[in-house]
């Protein structure tokens, strides 16, 4: 693990593989660990310099006030650009998962010269909040179960791990794998404000983030190889969101993981890695 200073902030970074044109992995709601170790290793074996990093207000990146972010989605996109350019003079393959996929779309649109390819996993073409009429919104029954649960003591590692297992079960991810991942996230969480910071790992900041202006209408301007990966059983961003992205990004390939929900399962690692390496 290391850090990079860019765009006025510190970003926590982890490297896999030998120096080459970077494949930059923009985090989702559980820090850089939303990109599985197995996938990072498989991509590195394919000859890529894989770099996963924490967004602001998560993991080892700069944390100020997650409940009141003083930055915008454009600032997060600029972080990705700054990191890509600090890593290598060559354009990077940029990948975003979940909320990181929103960052990746805006970064590729606003800074097309910085990136050579784009992978979007489990995301959608609009910001948090009211969804476009043609896009499927969060599954209401699943969200009701998810948000009606009693929150754990975020400073209690075991309680957080147990809570993560229940969350995974509701979302259709592997509840057996979730506790160890949550414990790793907890271990990487700064100790000054554990409750606020751990809650933020679940994406709370994005509900308060300024994501204007819209970018969906610009997706047709993207002129780089693109891959869209989506779990068939995803109740948070249902698969129709990935299908819309693949339709609206010229030449994009859609890879639907039939047995997946939010997380990339171990069984899909080889398929996802091969698709990303083909760009």
Over residues 187-217, the pLDDT tens digits come to: 887 654 445 445 554 455 677 788 999 999 9
Q: Tell me which residue range forms the domain holding 95.
A: 2-132+193-277
Beta carbons within 10 angstroms of residue 214's beta carbon: 11
What angle, rounded to 10 degrees, do the helices at 157-171 and 178-187 form? 140
Q: Which residues in the chain show pLDDT less than 50?
A: 192-194, 196-197, 201-202
Query: Tens digit of pLDDT for each residue in 166-188?
Result: 999 999 999 999 999 989 988 88
Rounded to two decimals, the pTM is 0.95
Rounded Cα gap, residues 85 and 73, in angstroms: 19
CA-based nearest residue to 40, from 58, 6, 17, 8: 17
Say which DSSP state 250 is in: T
CA distance 188 to 55: 13
Tell me the average pLDDT of the chain: 91
- Residue 170 in any domain: the answer is no
Structural domains counted in the chain? 1
Residue 177 counted as domain residue: no
> What CATH number did the domain enclosing 102 receive?
3.40.50.1820
């Amino acid at each position: 693990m290391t850090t990079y200073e860019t765009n006025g902030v510190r970003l926590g970074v982890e490297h896999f593989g030998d120096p080459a044109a970077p494949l930059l992995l923009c985090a989702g709601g559980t820090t850089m660990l939303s990109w599985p170790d197995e996938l990072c290793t498989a991509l590195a074996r394919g000859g890529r310099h894989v770099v996963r990093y924490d967004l602001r207000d998560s993991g080892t990146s700069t944390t100020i006030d997650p409940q009141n972010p003083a930055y915008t989605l454009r600032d997060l996109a600029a972080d990705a650009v700054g990191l890509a350019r600090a890593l290598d003079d060559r354009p990077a393959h940029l990948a975003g998962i979940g909320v990181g996929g929103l960052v990746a779309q805006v970064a590729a649109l606003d800074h097309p010269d910085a990136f050579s390819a784009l992978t979007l996993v489990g995301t959608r073409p609009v910001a948090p909040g009211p969804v476009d009429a043609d896009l499927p919104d969060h599954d209401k029954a699943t969200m009701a179960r998810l948000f009606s649960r009693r929150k754990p003591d975020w400073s209690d590692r075991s309680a957080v791990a147990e809570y993560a297992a229940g969350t995974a079960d509701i979302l259709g991810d592997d509840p057996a794998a979730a506790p160890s991942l949550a414990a790793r996230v907890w271990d990487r969480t700064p100790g000054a404000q554990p409750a606020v910071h751990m809650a933020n790992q679940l994406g709370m900041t994005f509900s308060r983030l300024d994501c204007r202006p819209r970018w969906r209408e610009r997706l047709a301007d993207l002129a780089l190889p693109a891959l869209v990966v989506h779990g068939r059983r995803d109740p948070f961003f249902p698969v129709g969101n990935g299908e819309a992205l693949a339709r609206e990004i010229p030449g994009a390939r859609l890879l639907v993981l039939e047995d997946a929900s939010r997380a990339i399962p171990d069984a899909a690692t080889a398929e996802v890695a091969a698709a990303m390496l083909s760009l």
